[in-house]
Amino acid sequence: MSNTSSLSAEILAFRTCAVCYKPETKKVKFGRCGKCKKPAYCSVECQKKGWKTHKETCRFQAENRESLPARGTQERDMLSGIKKWFSKHTQLLVYVGTHAMGLQNPARAASMLATHMLVLILDPSPSGVHGDFIFKAAAVSAMQEYGLNDATCAALAKRVSDVAKDNRHSLTIAPRPPGACTALRASGR
């Protein structure tokens, strides 16, 4: 049983190039986008090839990064914990998001992904373990109802489209302050 836990952790820690999907190794460490720090690239050539697709997402990610709470604050620690929680549960969340939004139906998937998201409500665990949260509720919601502006909605819709072209899956996390919701966009095939 413990082998399953360590296997899951290894799978989630496995990084691939955002363009050619080549796996990172101990000998070959990947670089990240210098502006948003998100996608990993095995080479400068792959980074150049991926720029057209990544450009809009990069701007969105960089703006998001600038709006992060200051390091060492409770808000930043909470955000870090949420990211760890999502990373730990990525495969399950993609599955839940896919089924909750009806994405297994290709005709419905394109319109749902362009306009809706799965909203999760999490509370910090009373155990105080960093990165440990209790799931409270979930609902599918229109992005506009969630309060995202038109530019953000357009950037998210473009990201979904770009990811779908590559026949890949993606999670986009939009955390909110305590008492608010955390949004999860499951994208993919």
Q: How many CB atoms lie within 10 A of CB 16?
A: 14
pTM, entire model: 0.58
- The mean pLDDT value for 77-87 works out to 81
Give the pLDDT of residue 116.
84
Instruction: Convert the pLDDT of each residue in 131-140 to its tens digit.
Output: 578 888 888 8
Query: Which alpha helices (DSSP H) does 31-185 contain, by range?
Result: 44-66, 74-88, 90-100, 106-115, 150-165
Q: Are 156 and 61 in contact (CB under 8 A)?
A: no
Please determine, for residue 118, whether its predicted confidence score (pLDDT) is greater than 70. yes
3-class SS at 68? coil
pLDDT of the residue at 77: 83
3-state secondary structure of 161: helix
Q: Residue 99 above 80 pLDDT?
A: yes
Tell me the average pLDDT across 79-98: 82
The most distant pair of C-alpha atoms in the chain lies apart, rounded to whole Å, by: 47
- State the distance between the two ends of the chain, measured CA to CA, in whole angstroms: 31
Dihedral of alpha carbons 158, 119, 146, 127, sign = negative
Find where tokens 């999860």 sit.
Answer: 184
The pair of structure tokens assigned to 64 is 């998001």
